[in-house]
């Protein structure tokens, strides 16, 4: 009898805070500059230089804490994490250790089989390190300190996740949240949002955790999924073969689709954490925290609930629409201009619009069809000018350049035929052209009704109003 295994995952998400300057210096945090042009004396760790905390980074951490219903610490402490590495200029990283700014909170994730609440142990502020460059420098190594001192919020989950799928859902949830809060741009390719995954397995029903491995620096949802699935399989195979899991740090190789132990260091690091004497304990008063609470936007869960309640959308649709604030805003703008028709708007935003955006690899902000144009198109469906089927053609043409629905409809003569006498004339023609089918229909072959609908639509180039065609056909075919 084979044993049933349970996967246990905890994620440490690093969200780069969207401040203009670094956490302890005035240097820019913009991505992609020439190496070291965004590294001033603070970032270079020059002798005599001192850190000064960026208030904006603090505000952003507080926003996050409030959004996950966590306790925002009135007093938190920056510590030094000491280790030597060339891209760590001071020989220590300033990070919150024993007393983080955000304490216990949680978020809800929705899966096919229902919703689950995932605990967040803590979130703390810290500075990022620089980058070591090894390519194209021969036997030498280069150091780029542009990233050194960039503010990060490290969000540590409880080991509450039970599968790669849950891990992804949780990570996406946090990704959505930080972008709603406008505290992180969420750009995973640039490393603004990345995570370390702690993975272990245990016999189902056991309380104690198995030995875990930490997979470092995963910067796409796909990699997180693949890395976890590989790691889970590896650990189970190891344990079932009588071996044991060694606690270690591993890297995910996306080319070979496997995790590997990181090159073992000569000795384990003892980080010798202690409170940074250059920074006073961070004290926040209640008024400051409340002021920030007052600036919080409507959060994704609240928005989704409102869409369900006020727009009558399903939970699933609401969840999809609110996964990104821009998407939800787009949808709401369309509904606003249409003056209702929420389901129609939701279907178009999630369906054709999403599909075209994905196909062309565009963000919603780059959509050639804006909310106003889409509302213009949908209004023509609502007022019967065109059918839903024709609307898809119009949409495609609008995407191609002419963003105005009415102009496309007029230019291509796509206006729906709603004139009863016109439709009746077409039907009469079709009946005359198909006497055999007409006779069969009248003798009881009801299935031929569809044939006549098709013929009428064909004859009108799809422009006849389908409801009217149905109604008139029934009447005229009956004779």
State yes or no: residue 53 binds other proteins (CB under 8 A): yes
Distances (CA, A) of 152 to 24, 39, 249, 251: 12, 17, 21, 21
Contacts 24+ apart (CB under 8 A), 88-93: 88/129, 88/130, 88/148, 89/43, 89/44, 89/45, 89/130, 89/145, 89/148, 90/45, 91/45, 93/126, 93/127, 93/129
Element (H, E) at 127: strand 114-127
Site for other proteins in 23-42 (CB under 8 A): 41
**What is the closest distance, in whole angstroms, from the C-beta atom of residue 117 to other proteins in the complex?**
34
**Consecutive H or E run containing 342:** helix 342-348
The count of chain residues that interact with other proteins, using the rule CB under 8 A, is: 30
Cα 479 to Cα 422, 470, 473, 475: the distances in Å are 18, 15, 10, 7
Q: Which stretch binds other proteins (CB under 8 A): 87-95, 299-307, 323-331, 351-359?
A: 87-95
HSE-CB at 188 with a 13 A cutoff on CA atoms is 16
48 binds other proteins (CB under 8 A): yes
Q: Is 84 in the site for other proteins (CB under 8 A)?
A: yes
80 interacts with other proteins by CB under 8 A: yes
Q: Does 279 bind other proteins (CB under 8 A)?
A: yes
Whose Cβ is closer to other proteins: residue 46's or residue 316's? Answer: 46
Q: Which is nearer to other proteins, 113 or 270 (CB)?
A: 270
Smallest distance, Å, CB 124 to other proteins? 18
Smaller CB distance to other proteins: residue 280 or 422? 280
- Smallest gap, in angstroms, from Cβ of residue 92 to other proteins? 5
Listed ranges 114-122, 165-173, 268-276, 401-409: which one lies at the site for other proteins (CB under 8 A) = 268-276
Touching other proteins, residues 125-154 (CB under 8 A): 141, 143
Q: Is 44 in the site for other proteins (CB under 8 A)?
A: yes
Q: Does 270 bind other proteins (CB under 8 A)?
A: yes
Q: Can you give the three-state secondary structure of 256-301, one letter per residue?
A: CCEEEECCCCCCCCCCCCEECCCCCCEECCHHHHHHHHCCCCCCHH
- What phi, psi does 265 have (nearest 5°)? -80, 160
Our finding on whether 49 is near other proteins (CB under 8 A) is yes
Question: Distance between CA atoms of 210 and 200, rounded to whole angstroms?
Answer: 5
What distance in Å separates the CA atoms of residue 414 and residue 143, rounded to the nearest whole number? Answer: 61
Interface with other proteins, residue 266, by CB under 8 A: yes
Dist. CA 22–CA 44, nearest whole Å? 13
In the complex, what is the shortest distance from the CB of residue 199 to other proteins, in angstroms, rounded to a whole number? 25
Q: Is 285 in the site for other proteins (CB under 8 A)?
A: no
Tell me the window of 50-58, 208-216, 290-298, 459-467 that interacts with other proteins (CB under 8 A).
50-58
Interface residues with other proteins (CB under 8 A)?
A: 41, 44-53, 80, 82, 84, 86, 89-92, 141, 143, 266, 270, 272-274, 277-280
């Amino acid at each position: 009898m084979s044993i049933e295994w349970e996967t246990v995952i905890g994620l440490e998400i690093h969200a780069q805070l969207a401040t203009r300057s670094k956490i302890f210096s005035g240097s820019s945090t913009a991505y992609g500059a020439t190496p070291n042009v965004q590294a001033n004396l603070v970032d270079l760790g020059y002798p005599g230089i001192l850190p000064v905390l960026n208030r904006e980074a603090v505000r952003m951490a507080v926003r996050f804490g409030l959004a996950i219903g966590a306790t925002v610490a009135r007093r938190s402490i920056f510590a030094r994490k000491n280790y030597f590495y060339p891209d760590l200029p001071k020989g220590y990283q300033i990070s919150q250790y024993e007393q983080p700014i955000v304490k216990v909170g949680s978020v809800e994730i929705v899966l096919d089989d229902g919703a689950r609440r995932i605990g967040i142990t803590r979130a703390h502020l810290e500075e990022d390190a620089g980058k070591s460059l090894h390519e194209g420098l021969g036997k030498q190594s280069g150091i780029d300190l542009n990233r050194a001192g960039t503010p990060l919020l490290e969000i540590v989950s409880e080991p509450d996740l039970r599968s790669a799928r849950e891990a992804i859902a949780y990570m996406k949830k946090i990704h959505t949240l930080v972008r709603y809060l406008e505290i992180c741009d969420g750009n995973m390719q640039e490393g603004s949002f990345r995570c370390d995954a702690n993975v272990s397995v245990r016999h189902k029903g056991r309380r104690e955790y198995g030995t875990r491995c930490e997979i470092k620096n995963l910067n796409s949802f796909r990699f997180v999924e693949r890395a976890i699935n590989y790691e889970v399989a590896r650990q189970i195979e190891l344990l079932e073969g009588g071996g044991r899991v060694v606690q270690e740090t591993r890297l995910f190789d996306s080319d070979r689709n496997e995790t590997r132990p990181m090159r073992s260091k000569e000795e384990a690091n003892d980080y010798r954490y202690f409170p940074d004497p250059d920074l006073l304990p961070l004290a926040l008063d209640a008024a400051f925290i409340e002021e920030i609470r007052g600036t919080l936007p409507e959060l994704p869960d609240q928005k989704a609930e409102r869409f369900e309640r006020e727009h009558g959308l399903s939970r699933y649709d609401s969840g999809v629409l609110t996964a990104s604030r821009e998407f939800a805003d787009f949808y709401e703008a369309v509904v606003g201009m249409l003056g209702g028709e929420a389901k129609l708007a939701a279907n178009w935003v999630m369906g054709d619009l999403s599909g075209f955006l994905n196909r062309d690899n565009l963000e919603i902000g780059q959509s050639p069809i804006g909310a106003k144009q889409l509302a213009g198109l949908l209004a023509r469906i609502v007022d019967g000018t065109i059918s839903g089927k024709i609307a898809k053609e119009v949409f495609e043409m609008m995407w191609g350049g002419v963003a105005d629905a009415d102009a496309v409809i007029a230019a291509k003569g796509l206006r729906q035929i709603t004139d009863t006498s016109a439709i009746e004339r077409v039907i009469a023609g079709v009946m005359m052209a198909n006497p055999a089918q007409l006779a069969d229909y009248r003798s009881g072959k009801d299935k031929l009704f569809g044939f006549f609908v098709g013929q009428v639509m064909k004859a009108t180039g799809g422009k006849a109003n389908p409801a009217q065609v149905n109604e008139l056909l029934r009447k005229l075919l009956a004779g």
